[in-house]
């Protein structure tokens, strides 16, 4: 069957099963094209919660489906491939956090949304790449254990006087974009603006015109006059940028700016998942309750002036 034929079958099946298909901005283009909504992980988890659909098919990685399940415990959250994980989220265990807490007993724990439900459950507050600075600055106390991304931690440290105690985790996809590669692409396209995600290395962020979350990138390009934009994040983000600002020319910052886990979701797996309403992602009730508290704390702090 052609991928277009399969795409139509998926749409029909989604209608039959009253399912909502959500796709992360880093999903393969053919998945983004047939999804009901594309967005970042928090945006999608909130949509899953507010939508009346009983079945949510989450095209993304495991921690994202978990976040949707935490916010919508009464819904069926399906991840078409359970092996789609995130090395950043898996870089830390709760025991590692307990050791850090022993060393820094006064510190508050801020955990990036790219983390397991178990880690969220033992954190004070969750953050995203767009609100991390705001959350850290609004939180009481002057010592912050920031998990699990060392690059986002050092990005936040630039904008706060608080002491940031980072974990050593990183996203291999963003870490792969080295300073040499950043300098090379800038040399090749001297007129272009370079936008990067704060999960990039510290020295790469230094070379960028702006360091932005994926949501902030979407807003940034809308008002941009410059013709060429080098995109320093997962290459499939470019699909979303093309939709909001088609007048610009987007260049992937590197050839291999690809998250292999995001690419585990295919049209065929999505079709099978919808047909069988499986595999389902669930989160233990107690863990979900505590993780939700940390997520709610984030929503509260990001509203406060």
Q: Phi/psi at 239 (nearest 5 deg)?
A: -55, -45
Which residues share a beta bridge with 229? 193, 250
Binding mask 77-116 for ligand SF4 (x = CB under 6 A): ---------xxx-------------------------x--
Taking CB under 6 A as the criterion, the residue among 259, 267, 273, 281 binding ligand SF4 is: 259
Q: Which one of the spans 121-129, 169-177, 188-196, 267-275 is the region binding ligand SF4 (CB under 6 A)?
A: 169-177
Binding mask 16-55 for ligand SF4 (x = CB under 6 A): ----------x-----------------------------
Alpha-carbon distances, residue 210 vs 22, 173, 192, 200 (angstroms): 28, 19, 12, 12
Taking CB under 6 A as the criterion, the residue among 70, 262, 287, 295 binding ligand SF4 is: 262
Binding to ligand SF4, residues 128-147 (CB under 6 A):
none
| Residue 236 DSSP class | T
Alpha-carbon distances, residue 28 vs 25, 112, 242 (angstroms): 9, 24, 14
Q: Give 108's contacts (C-beta < 8 A, 6+ positions apart).
A: 124, 125, 139, 140, 141, 143, 144, 145
What's the min distance (Å) between Cβ of 5 and ligand SF4? 29
Rounded to whole angstroms, the Cα distance separating 177 from 231 reads 11
Taking CB under 6 A as the criterion, the residue among 234, 235, 237, 248 binding ligand SF4 is: 234
Binding site residues, ligand SF4, CB under 6 A: 26, 61, 86-88, 114, 171-173, 234, 259, 261-262
């Amino acid at each position: 069957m052609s991928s277009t034929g399969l795409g139509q079958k998926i749409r029909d099946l989604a209608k039959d099963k009253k399912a909502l298909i959500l796709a992360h901005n880093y999903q393969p283009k053919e998945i983004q094209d047939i999804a009901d909504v594309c967005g970042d992980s928090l945006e999608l988890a909130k949509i899953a919660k507010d939508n009346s659909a009983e079945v949510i098919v989450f095209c993304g990685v495991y921690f994202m489906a978990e976040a949707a399940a935490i916010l919508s415990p009464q819904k069926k959250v399906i991840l078409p491939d359970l092996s789609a994980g995130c090395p950043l989220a898996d870089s830390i265990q709760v025991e590692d956090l307990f050791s850090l807490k022993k060393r820094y007993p006064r510190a508050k724990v801020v955990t990036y949304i790219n983390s397991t439900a178990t880690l969220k459950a033992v954190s004070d507050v969750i953050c995203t790449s767009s609100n991390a600075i705001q959350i850290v600055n609004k939180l009481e106390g002057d010592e912050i254990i920031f998990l699990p991304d060392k690059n986002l931690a050092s990005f936040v440290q630039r904008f706060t006087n608080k002491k940031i105690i980072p974990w050593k985790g990183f996203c291999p996809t963003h870490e792969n974009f080295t300073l040499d590669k950043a300098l090379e692409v800038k040399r090749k396209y001297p007129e272009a603006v370079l936008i990067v995600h704060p999960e990039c290395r510290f020295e790469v962020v230094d070379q960028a015109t702006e360091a932005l979350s994926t949501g902030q990138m979407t807003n940034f390009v809308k008002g941009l006059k410059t013709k060429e934009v080098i995109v320093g994040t997962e290459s499939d983000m470019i699909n979303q940028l093309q939709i909001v600002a088609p007048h610009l020319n987007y260049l992937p910052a590197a050839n291999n700016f690809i998250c292999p886990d995001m690419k585990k979701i295919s049209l065929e797996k999505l079709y099978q998942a919808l047909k069988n309403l499986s595999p389902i992602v669930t989160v233990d009730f107690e863990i979900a309750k505590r993780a939700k508290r940390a997520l709610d704390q984030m929503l509260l702090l990001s509203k406060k002036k």
